[in-house]
Structure 1
Amino acid sequence: MWSNISTAPFLLTGFPGLEIFYPWISFSFFVIYGFVILGNGTLLFLIREDRTLHEPMYYFLAILAATDLGVTLTMPTVLGVLWLDHREISHGACCFQAYLIHSLSIVESGALLIMAYDRFIAICSPLIYTSILTNAKVVKIGLGILMRGFILIVPIIVTLSRFPYCRSRVLSHAFCLHQDVIKLACADITFNRIYPIVLVSLTGFLDSVLILTSYILILKTVMGIASGKEQAKALNTCVSHISCVLAFYVTVTGLTLIHRFGKYVPHVVHIIMSYVYFLFPPLMNPIIYSIKTKQIQNGINRLLSFHRI
């Protein structure tokens, strides 16, 4: 049927053995996806329209929200599998989807890092905050984070797209991941095994270490403040970011460990962890900031009041 088996489409799977529950699973995913779009879309709209939110902290939050929306672009493919049993995805579309997922994961890690840097400057050097984080510097930092994510992932996706695939073309998820597709390649995949490890070490691991270091310095500064009330106020500005960091790194670490060392773990656990990773942070991030950030709350209240008029 296909003259070149290497460019034949891949076949996606949903939740093997749980087909009877697909209506409930797909409905849950649809509702969560709707909340992800609503929550992150609202954050982006507020940050754009509300002048009181035109500050570095909220510009960085906008990058995080846009990244979360980008990651969940895989959901239409997932819903297509669950609703319509549309399992076929072209070779090119699969590689592009893997590129989008993995590059945006690096971007999200970078966004959390620059948000930690923002909190570090705001608490440890408040008098020079505006001179350090100027609009020009915010733009440069944001572009740097985006370029890092979208450029560093190119080598493994290029090789992924050029590999011959002569084995089963059935993937174990309802979307394309590099570590899933690469198992089907009929070629030397040494580079595609080593490069991701190096990449994770230079991005995710390094980012997490820098975030931890920034909070150690923040805590040291806060402990030097005499007033307990001022200490609580300073730390309260970090709660939202810390919560988002935990939501991202706990899920990504869990997914990585499952893929690397979960050989004897039931396959359904692999699948569930993948969906938790893709849906939990994008769902929780806008909720966390809406609950814990007064300026966001005020912006939402003004937006709702405007629509009532």
Structure 2
Amino acid sequence: MSSVNTSYLHPKEFILIGFPGMENYQTWISIPFCVMCISALVANVLIIYIIKVNESLHNPMCVLLAALSVVDLALCSLALQILKIFWFNQRAIAFEACLFQMFCVHFFSSLESSILAIMAYDRYVAIYNPLRYMSILSYRFLAQVFLSLLLRDLILFGLLPIFASRLPFCSSNVIQHCYCDHMGIAKLACTDISLNNALGLLAISCIFGLDVIFIIFSYALILRSVLKVGSKNALRKALNTCGSHLFVILYFYTTLLFSLLVYRSGQKVQPEIHIMFAVLYLLVPPVLNPLVYAIRTKEIRHAFLRIVWTKKVNSSKQSARC
């Protein structure tokens, strides 16, 4: 039997290409990405601060918004790693670091999906049974649901890097992407990846699939409840609120579905188009979520204006004293 060269089983590092064939333009491409990152960071930090300092916002809806902002900050930090490729040409990433990045991308994306599902139920209770809102969506209930979904996401996506670390990599260590993801790594292996593929599909079905079904069901019940009331004003208000929510949800799951189909269907799609969608999948939701869920929420908008007004009044008083 011929001996196996163990140096090929686990490469010391992977090389992230970024946008293949567009190396000369990646600095320019990074500018809008950077603007989106900064906007998302500022907006989500501001939302967390506003909710923290205003006791009137310590309710289930705002707690969920704060949790969503924390997850969005984590996704932004992953996007900042992409800018290192564009600005400093730091394309090499250690094998273990790549697996950890892969876990973080999938785990935080799944947490985003889980929180969106809980928020859909929150909106349903607020519209269908507003008098019992606080008793149904108690902090204990939210904590139990969130911890259950967190464990689900942690276990299912935690298995991916474990199984990926067992794959032998005998040829290329170049990943045609801006960051490490499951199928991008698995496709480099020189062995059958059917088990990895099945595990990935299981995780996606049990997390994103179930969340999508639950969100659709919740918004269908919201629409039915509003139609039962028969008030045009209530219908217009519900459609205005839920319509913007559904737009963000639709974008989030559409870009996710596109990325999954490209990897698994074998369809020929330009790599730069696939990678662009994958990057925007990380960046756009953290930018849109504060606009749709927070700024359009009257209580948060008023709290922000009060903070701005208070600081303006205090600065005016200090100027007058001087």
In the superposition, the TM-score normalised over structure 1's length comes to 0.93
Change in 2 beyond 3 A, CA 1:121/1:290: closer
State the partner residue of 1:72. Answer: 76
CA distance in 1, matches of 2:255, 2:144: 29
- Among 42, 47, 51, the alignment partner of 1:47 is 51
Q: Counterparts in 2 of 1:82-161, with a 5 A limit? A: 82-161=86-165
Identity of aligned residues (%): 36
**Partner in structure 1 of residue 251 of structure 2:** 247
Question: Out of 296, 300, 307, which is 2:304 matched to?
Answer: 300
Q: Among residues 269, 272, 279, which one is paired with 2:276 in the alignment?
A: 272
Answer whether contact 1:240 1:288 (CA < 8 A) is retained: yes
Structure 2 contact 13–92 (Cα < 8 Å) conserved: yes
Q: What RMSD over aligned residues (CA atoms) do the two structures have, in Å?
A: 1.9
Describe the SS at the equivalent of 1:4: helix
- Residues 235-259 of structure 1, C-alpha deviation per residue, up to 9 Å, x if partnerless? 4443443232122112212222232
Give the distance between the partners of 1:226 and 1:12, measured in 2 at CA. 55
Q: Output the CA distance in 2 between the equivalents of 1:243 and 1:209.
A: 16
- Whether the 8 Å contact between 1:239 and 1:292 is mirrored in structure 2 is no
Mark the CA change 1:38 to 1:244 in structure 2 (over 3 Å): closer, same or farther.
same
Give the C-alpha shift of residue 90 in structure 1: 0.3
CA contact (8 A) 1:240 1:292 kept: no
* Partners of 2:65 and 2:293 within 8 A in 1: no
Q: What stretches of structure 2 of length at least 5 have no aligned partner?
A: 315-322
- Offset, 1:222: 0.6
Which has the greater radius of gyration? 2
Say which is worse superposed, 18-27 or 279-288, in terms of deviation: 18-27
Q: Which residue of 1 aligns with 2:184?
A: 180
Determine which of 1, 7, 13 is the counterpart of 1:4.
7
Paired position in structure 1 for 2:320: none
Return the alpha-carbon distance in structure 1 between the equivalents of residues 85 and 48 of structure 2: 30
Tell whether 2:262 aligns with 1:258: yes
* Structure-2 separation of matches of 1:74 and 1:162: 24
- Deviates further, 161-170 or 141-150: 141-150
CA-CA distance at 1:273 after TM superposition? 1.2
Query: How many angstroms does 1:93 deviate by?
Result: 0.4
Taking the aligned partners of 2:220 and 2:261, their CA distance within structure 1 comes to 26
Deviations 1:89-124 (A, max 9, x none): 000100000000111121111111100111111111
1:20 is aligned, of 20, 24, 43, to 24
The match for 1:169 is 173
2:34 and 2:83 in contact (8 A); partners too: yes
Note the C-alpha offset of 1:210: 1.3
Q: CA deviation digits over 1:149-171, x for unaligned, max 9? A: 22211112101123221210000
1:200 aligns with 2:208: no
**CA-to-partner distance for each residue in 1:250-306, whole Å, 9 max, x for gaps?**
221222223223531111111111112111111111122344221221122123224
**Whole-Å separation in 1 of the counterparts to 2:52 and 2:88:** 37
TM superposition score normalised by structure 2: 0.89
For 2:47, the aligned partner's letter is L
Amino acid at match of 1:4: S
Are the counterparts in 2 of residues 243 and 288 from structure 1 also a CA contact under 8 Å? Answer: no
Aligned to 1:228: 232
Question: 1:249 and 1:302, CA in 2 relative to 1: closer, same or farther beyond 3 A?
Answer: same
